[in-house]
Amino acid sequence: MAEKKYCPKCLSTGDPEAEFCTACGEKLVPLMRIVIMPFVVSGPEREIWEEYRELVERDGEIRPDLAVGCQLYMQSGMEKVRLMVSQKEHYLAQAERTLPLLVKSYLDPMLFYDVPDPVEVFRVAEEAVEMPTELFVIIQNQYDPEYLFLPEIDFFFFRYPRLHTSGTDADSGFGYVQLSAFLLDNRENRIVSRGSGAGLEYFEAAGAVLDENFSIPTQDQLEVMYRAASQAVERMLRNMKMIK
């Protein structure tokens, strides 16, 4: 594939053969290719729930006894309070599909990265399922990228019981996405940048049709998660720091 070129001055793209920008005369440079690698799932099976404490307390008090069945909830009546997860696979699968697309949609407008469609990258990565150590080789052969972008993710939907928010109808749940990522220079085989970011979006009960268990419809949850993930991606990419 002929390398596309872009103009670092006016950010227009140029013909692969051209040497100079037709708009402003600046010397054109090749697009850098970044492949967004499939996710490494870092949670939520963690012993420590302290870092989520502020997310599940109200008025300075944690009330796990009030948190009834939800996608990620606190269970009481045990020696140690702990986070319980249901539908974890469902949420992580959504995260895998959604977040690389969000990263791509953020990088594409910058014009100087050529990011392959993450859906296509996943298809290629699936070829390596039986031999995970070959994944880098396969990605390298397929895309020949200058950089690999490796995100990690924690991806939760919390719900407060209706009892807890009665009268307010405002925030009976929320989505929380924590991301971190490394940028690997594929030529030098070293990490050149890293960053992290979080997004939190409230679910507004008003307008949603809840069933007798006050379950929040999956589609509504996914929309909340998508907005939280967008925030997290934007913050993370803005906070990426170079590593010497």
Q: Contact positions toward Zn ion, by CB under 5 A?
A: 7, 9-10, 21, 23-24, 26
Is the Cβ of residue 10 or residue 119 nearer to Zn ion in the bound state?
10
Report the SS3 class of residue 139.
Answer: helix
Shortest reach from residue 145's CB to Zn ion, in Å: 25
Residue type at 1? M
Residue type at 233? V
Shortest reach from residue 12's CB to Zn ion, in Å: 5
Shortest reach from residue 47's CB to Zn ion, in Å: 54
Q: Rounded to an integer, what distance in angstroms lies between the CA atom of residue 97 and that of residue 50? A: 28
CB 191 within 8 A of CB 148: no
* CB < 8 Å & 24+ apart, contacts of 75-83: 81/49, 82/49, 83/44, 83/49, 83/52
Q: Rounded to an integer, what distance in angstroms lies between the CA atom of residue 90 and that of residue 86? A: 9
Q: Between the CA of residue 47 and those of 42, 85, 93, 197, what are the distances in Å?
A: 12, 13, 22, 22
Is the Cβ of residue 10 or residue 131 nearer to Zn ion in the bound state?
10
Shortest reach from residue 1's CB to Zn ion, in Å: 23
Q: Rounded to an integer, what distance in angstroms lies between the CA atom of residue 240 and that of residue 103? A: 13
Is the Cβ of residue 18 or residue 24 nearer to Zn ion in the bound state?
24
Structure token digits, residue 91? 């949420």
Is the Cβ of residue 9 or residue 58 nearer to Zn ion in the bound state?
9
Shortest reach from residue 2's CB to Zn ion, in Å: 19
Q: Rounded to an integer, what distance in angstroms lies between the CA atom of residue 124 and that of residue 143? A: 10
Is the Cβ of residue 114 or residue 154 nearer to Zn ion in the bound state?
114
Say if strands 29-30 and 5-6 run parallel, antiparallel, or are unpaired: antiparallel
Shortest reach from residue 105's CB to Zn ion, in Å: 24
Is the Cβ of residue 12 or residue 215 nearer to Zn ion in the bound state?
12
